Structure formats: C-alpha cells, structure tokens
Amino acid sequence: MYNFQGVKFRIKDICGNMIRDDTNGRAVLKQDIETQKCWDRKARLVNIRGYLIDKKGNIINREGR
C-alpha cells in the first residue's frame, strides 16, 4: 500500500508496542483514567486502537512524522 506521496506505507510503522491479553489477544493499554491518555510499553502516546499519536491526537509513525 502506498500513501499520497507514493511512499510505501506499512501499518506496523504506526502501531505501538503493546502487551497482548492471553485470553483474547487484544492489546492491553496503560491508561490514565483522569486524562484518558494511553501509552504503549515504551511510554509513547497511543490512541484507543493502539496507533501512535502526537500531543494533538494525530496519528504518527515511529519517527514522529
């Protein structure tokens, strides 16, 4: 799959490093109940789906772009 600039896009470049639940295989998020923010194993911000995000909530890749 390619993005709008013609650069090859890989979904694993935007996914956080998540812990998986043994029973159903779903990602287990570290979440702050007050702020509703989630983090992956490397303490990077992720959304509820496990995609890496910046402070504004935009999906980013591992390089922060």
Q: How does pLDDT run across 5-14, given as a tens digit for each residue?
A: 666 778 888 8
Q: How does pLDDT run across 39-50, given as a tens digit for each residue?
A: 988 989 999 888
> And the tokens for 16?
């956080």
Vertex 42: Cα angle to 40 and 45 (nearest 5): 50
User: What pLDDT, on the 0 to 100 scale, is given for residue 52?
Assistant: 92
* Residue 15 contacts residue 50 (beta carbons within 8 Å): yes
> And the tokens for 55?
């402070």
* DSSP, res 26: P
Domain ranges of the chain: 13-65
